[in-house]
Structure 1
Amino acid sequence: MPSKMPPMSTSRVTAHGRSRPPALSARTRASVTKRLRTVASAMATATTVAMEQRLTWFPSLDANTRSWVSVLARNGIDAFIEWFADPDSDASPGDVFAAAPPTLARSISLHQTVELVRTTIDVIEEQAHELMSRSDRPPVLDALLLYSRDLAFAAAEVYARAAETRGAWDARFEALVVDSVVRGEADETVLSRASALGWQTTGAVAVVAGQAPSVDLPHDGNLLRRSGRRHGLDLLSAVQGDRLILIAGGTAIDEGQHLAAVGHLTEHFGPDAIVVGPVVDHLVDAHSSAREALSGLRAAVAWPTAPRPVATADLLPERALNGDGHARRHLGRHLYGSLVDAGGALLETLVAFLDQGSSIEGASRVLFVHANTVRYRLRRIHEVTGFNPTDAREAYVLQMAVTLGRLLS
């Protein structure tokens, strides 16, 4: 015997992808709907009682939240009855949540919402068995199965939209904090905002600057934070034009550890240089680190083979040539001055060593000293300045320091 049931595509799903109630004659549907409306209040009352008895966390909610949950439960029952009564209705199960205040999604988690929906559906099933005739139960239970599925999807959609909205606001909030730090306007308000974003660092902080990721791989602050935590970094980030700025913090992390940790995050940047500013003691002091990091990023193009990431101290010559006054003063006064103050013919030895093409024997002949004396003095220069004259790159830094030191003397 051929089946008389209508096909699923025409009877169970609307054009918008929502379920239709089971196919019934108009008289049967009207009769069942009338009886459902008669028992709707009893179902709503039984649902509230069941929530208090079955959900251990429900009684601990504040009175206002419990009241709203009861309202939504009654709305859900009424919406189910109206959906059952009109198969051609465009009403969506998501309309059940429309009346709820936005704060409700923050008071009740998605998992708790699923438990509430499940409890409501279970109670309606129980009440249908108790309050409705045997002939009315099958269409009601079939309809409830379809409606509960749509209701669960609607609840998930509500929380997904809330999460997207919250994520967008958090990203704007985070960008505001990063911008305040970069512009040197970090104060207690900025600290409070950073704390609201999960910033916990009270110690070493450094600013990192690099090229923003491509359009094909957009910036994801949450993913970046998770990557940072795996490597001991507390991160705030923001894209500013074509550059990505990170504020990286950690407990008792020095500059070397910062540099190594940032090295694990290179995939989140574009292909060009990544520059790590000096470590400062607190977030409110991070403007100085940001200034050096951005200066280094602008100058890094002059050292295409630089490590990635690279510390701003390693870009001092390029920064100085690019007009960075802080770099010029550091080279010409701090580095050059430390050699002058150290005495012991260190400056004279460095100049001779560099002028002789980094030849120890050549410097020893010019200075009329033994080659071992030159070697000893070169080691002392390394100890005093932190730069090794026998390394070609670091010798370039020292050469620049001597040149600027003479100009600024």
Structure 2
Amino acid sequence: MSDAARQHPSEATSRAVERSAGDLATLASQRMEEKLRWYRDLSAEERSQVGLVAQAGISQFIAWFHHQESHSPSAISIFGNAPQELTRSVSLRQTLDLVRTVVDVVESRVESLAGPGDEQLLRESVLRFSREIAFAAAEVYAGAAEARGAWDARLEALVVDAVLRGEADDSMQSRASALGWGDVADVTFVVGSTPTTARAGAVPAVDDLRRSVRQHGVEALAIVQRSRLIAILGGTRAAVEVVEEVAGCFGPGPVVVGPTVPHLFAAGRSARAALSGLSAAAAWPDAPRVLESDAVLPERALAGDSPARRVLVDRIHRPLSAPGHASLLETATAYLELGGSLEASARALFVHPNTVRYRLGRIADVTGYDLTTPREAWAVRIALALGRLAEAPGSRPASRATASPAQLEETSKVSSATS
């Protein structure tokens, strides 16, 4: 039946429905208390807010019942009292339970409220009104979810930007806590290129990456920054394995994984290493698709990355220069200079080839680098050269020679905290 052809309720029915507003609201509250467990579990304030919504729904039905042709049910008048509080404390499914309860209450009173011949009209009006309000409730929740998602996206971008700039201050902490990252441990910075499908918009790429890593039980903050897709993974010590599973979310080229740090507020170190690794990865033609930032330490050092230089010197040159390891340093230098030949190294050192072979094993134990592997031998060669440069007369310490003001300030803070 169309709206134009719909019969008007009698004056007696309209007055009866209007007079019953208070009784219907009371009965609806009682019915919710009896049948809806989630309603009983709410706090007194939240139950009051839900009750106001139910009362507003009944009042709106009465007004609409009088003038069905002139206006449609309004979501604003029903949910306008406290839409934010309602959507935070009550889910959409529970709101539909609320609508259903109010409809059941009105339907149960149809016989006593409707005048002669108006029973079917009142029943149909209740059903039509409930349908309109159900759609209105869905619209309210969709709007709230969209606004909350947009706000979360802005917070997420601010947190990632703070990590990139190394600003682990109180504002970052409050924003991270709002995103649920206040207590997330084992944090890793990951960076790669933006997928070509996301050139027209960043949201699909970010959502795809976030959804993919969550399938592995890992939390993620993600943004698109120009041509780079950046992610901060939390809650896993196996970040490389996770990234290998979701590498398809990134665009072509290498995806670099920074070192895992204890928490988000130390993620600046992981970010600097990953970004440096992405810039230097082009110097390694056979680089794997997913690689750790430490895998390109030699390239990073050649590109002028001071932390990478210090790491190489600390891992390789300093242990080999320690007292008691003079023979290891001598063997490493000879072996590298003579093209990796055991016999030529043995002749130059005046030892047996087996002695050279034994010392190479000891070098691998001390530094973690195997000189019989070409790439690792190249890393050792660069580390030894950097170490010799640092020890040359008149040279400044490697840790401060090329350090930026921000790095010097950070070093001073660490020194003060540990002194």
Tell me the TM-score normalised to structure 2 length: 0.81
Question: Which residues of 2 match residues 268-347 of structure 1 at below 5 A?
Answer: 268-332=249-313, 334-341=315-322, 343-347=325-329
Cα deviation per residue 1:61-111 (whole Å; 9 max; x = unaligned)? Answer: 344433333332232223234434444434344232233342221122222
Question: Could you tell me whether the CA contact under 8 Å between 2:73 and 2:129 is conserved in 1?
Answer: no
- Alpha-carbon distance in 1 for matches of 2:50, 2:36: 13
- Alpha-carbon distance in 1 for matches of 2:143, 2:363: 61
- Paired residue for 1:127? 109
The answer to whether residue 37 in structure 2 is matched with residue 56 in structure 1 is yes
Q: Which amino acid is the alignment partner of residue 362 of structure 2?
A: R
- Paired residue for 1:210? 192
RMSD: 2.9
In structure 2, the CA distance between the partners of 1:234 and 1:87, relative to structure 1 (3 Å rule), is closer
Question: Could you tell me whether the CA contact under 8 Å between 1:22 and 1:139 is conserved in 2?
Answer: no
Question: Which residues of 2 match residues 146-185 of structure 1 at below 5 A?
Answer: 146-185=128-167
Question: Could you tell me whether the CA contact under 8 Å between 1:211 and 1:272 is conserved in 2?
Answer: yes
The 10-residue stretch of structure 1 (225-234 or 235-244) with the greater mean CA deviation from structure 2: 225-234
Cα deviation for residue 246 of structure 1 reads 2.8
The 10-residue stretch of structure 1 (313-322 or 141-150) with the greater mean CA deviation from structure 2: 141-150
- Alpha-carbon distance in 2 for matches of 1:222, 1:89: 43
In structure 2, the CA distance between the partners of 1:237 and 1:34, relative to structure 1 (3 Å rule), is same
Match of 2:97 among 115, 118, 121: 115
Q: Which amino acid is the alignment partner of residue 239 of structure 1?
A: V
- Paired residue for 2:331? 349
- Paired residue for 1:407? 389
The 10-residue stretch of structure 1 (111-120 or 191-200) with the greater mean CA deviation from structure 2: 191-200
Partner of 1:50: helix, strand, or coil? Answer: helix
Partner of 1:102: helix, strand, or coil? Answer: helix
Question: Could you tell me whether the CA contact under 8 Å between 1:219 and 1:268 is conserved in 2?
Answer: no
Question: Could you tell me whether the CA contact under 8 Å between 2:159 and 2:175 is conserved in 1?
Answer: yes
Cα deviation per residue 1:5-45 (whole Å; 9 max; x = unaligned)? Answer: x5xxxx2xxxxxxxxx583245x576754553343343233
The answer to whether residue 47 in structure 2 is matched with residue 66 in structure 1 is yes
- Paired residue for 2:233? 248
- Paired residue for 1:190? 172
Question: Could you tell me whether the CA contact under 8 Å between 1:273 and 1:309 is conserved in 2?
Answer: yes
Unaligned runs of 5+ in 1: 1-5, 12-20
- Alpha-carbon distance in 2 for matches of 1:86, 1:117: 21
- Alpha-carbon distance in 2 for matches of 1:239, 1:395: 37
Q: Which amino acid is the alignment partner of residue 308 of structure 2?
A: A
Q: Which amino acid is the alignment partner of residue 405 of structure 1?
A: G
- Alpha-carbon distance in 1 for matches of 2:233, 2:178: 16
Cα deviation for residue 391 of structure 1 reads 1.6
- Paired residue for 1:14? none
Question: Could you tell me whether the CA contact under 8 Å between 1:332 and 1:405 is conserved in 2?
Answer: yes
Cα deviation for residue 362 of structure 1 reads 3.6
Question: Could you tell me whether the CA contact under 8 Å between 1:199 and 1:236 is conserved in 2?
Answer: no
- Paired residue for 1:382? 364
Cα deviation per residue 1:297-355 (whole Å; 9 max; x = unaligned)? Answer: 22222224322321111111211121211222333454222222262532332233333
Question: Which residues of 2 match residues 34-45 of structure 1 at below 5 A?
Answer: 34-45=15-26
- Alpha-carbon distance in 2 for matches of 1:31, 1:272: 76
Question: Could you tell me whether the CA contact under 8 Å between 2:277 and 2:296 is conserved in 1?
Answer: yes
- Alpha-carbon distance in 2 for matches of 1:49, 1:281: 51
- Alpha-carbon distance in 2 for matches of 1:80, 1:120: 10
In structure 2, the CA distance between the partners of 1:79 and 1:298, relative to structure 1 (3 Å rule), is same
The 10-residue stretch of structure 1 (260-269 or 114-123) with the greater mean CA deviation from structure 2: 260-269
In structure 2, the CA distance between the partners of 1:314 and 1:43, relative to structure 1 (3 Å rule), is same
Cα deviation for residue 358 of structure 1 reads 2.7
In structure 2, the CA distance between the partners of 1:89 and 1:381, relative to structure 1 (3 Å rule), is farther
Partner of 2:37: helix, strand, or coil? Answer: coil
- Alpha-carbon distance in 2 for matches of 1:363, 1:236: 51
How many residue pairs align between the two structures?
A: 386
The 10-residue stretch of structure 1 (398-407 or 135-144) with the greater mean CA deviation from structure 2: 398-407
- Alpha-carbon distance in 1 for matches of 2:257, 2:271: 9
- Paired residue for 1:137? 119
- Alpha-carbon distance in 2 for matches of 1:97, 1:314: 56
- Paired residue for 2:248? 267
In structure 2, the CA distance between the partners of 1:232 and 1:117, relative to structure 1 (3 Å rule), is closer
Question: Could you tell me whether the CA contact under 8 Å between 1:30 and 1:85 is conserved in 2?
Answer: no
Question: Could you tell me whether the CA contact under 8 Å between 1:181 and 1:286 is conserved in 2?
Answer: yes
- Alpha-carbon distance in 1 for matches of 2:43, 2:315: 63
- Alpha-carbon distance in 2 for matches of 1:110, 1:98: 16
Q: Which amino acid is the alignment partner of residue 143 of structure 1?
A: S
Identity of aligned residues (%): 47
Cα deviation for residue 276 of structure 1 reads 1.7
Partner of 1:330: helix, strand, or coil? Answer: helix
In structure 2, the CA distance between the partners of 1:242 and 1:343, relative to structure 1 (3 Å rule), is same
Cα deviation for residue 145 of structure 1 reads 1.8
- Alpha-carbon distance in 2 for matches of 1:97, 1:401: 67
Unaligned runs of 5+ in 2: 392-419
In structure 2, the CA distance between the partners of 1:316 and 1:150, relative to structure 1 (3 Å rule), is same
Partner of 1:149: helix, strand, or coil? Answer: helix
Cα deviation for residue 168 of structure 1 reads 1.6
